Amino acid sequence: MNALRRNVLKGAAGASAVAVAVAAGLLKPTQALAAAPRSAFEAKNVGDAMKDLGAASPADSKDITIKAPDIAENGAVVPVEVTSAIAGTTMIAILAEKNATPLVADFSLANGAQGFVSTRIKMGQTSLVRAVVTAGGKSYTAAKEVKVTIGGCGG
């Protein structure tokens, strides 16, 4: 069944064309998603990026869950899932704090949508992965460390 699902999806090339274009760097995330200003994606540090997102000083929240590996298997494609249990979540942004441009993705959610996003991000080095959520005009945040290691030498 899984093999069938895979083949069906492979066959339906059109369905994944957008994702492929993003992955190949043809589209910048801003063009694909267009939720945050371009300046936020170009910001060189977390503070500036959050300011440009309109979330300059978010409150720490336990209602945000970040699912990401403790150690990345491949820094080029680190799977990250963010779940926001905060009512009325309208935006979820993901930042890799030590990337040259920390803001990796920004999703705007229609009111009433489930606060859940799943994507893959690129990380150059060990860093906190931070999620920033806005809901009801307020902003919230949580972070998890993802280690990027040289590899090898395992017992």
Encoded one letter per residue, x for contact with other proteins by CB under 8 A and - for no contact, window 11-50 reads ----------------------------------------
Distance in angstroms (rounded) separating the CA atoms of residues 85 and 76: 28
39-49 in b/e form (b: 16+ CB < 10 A) is ebbebeebebb
Residues in the chain: 155
What is the smallest separation between the CB atom of 10 and other proteins, expressed in angstroms?
Answer: 10
5 touches other proteins by CB under 8 A: yes
Distance in angstroms (rounded) separating the CA atoms of residues 64 and 130: 10
CB-nearer residue toward other proteins: 31 or 149 = 149
- C-alpha triplet 15, 21, 22: angle, nearest 5°: 110
79 touches other proteins by CB under 8 A: yes
- CA within 13 Å, CB half, 94: 28
Residue type, 44: K
Encoded one letter per residue, x for contact with other proteins by CB under 8 A and - for no contact, window 116-145 reads ----------x-------------------
Number of residues that bind other proteins (CB under 8 A): 20
Enumerate binding residues for other proteins (CB under 8 A). 2, 5-6, 67, 69-74, 79, 126, 147, 149-155
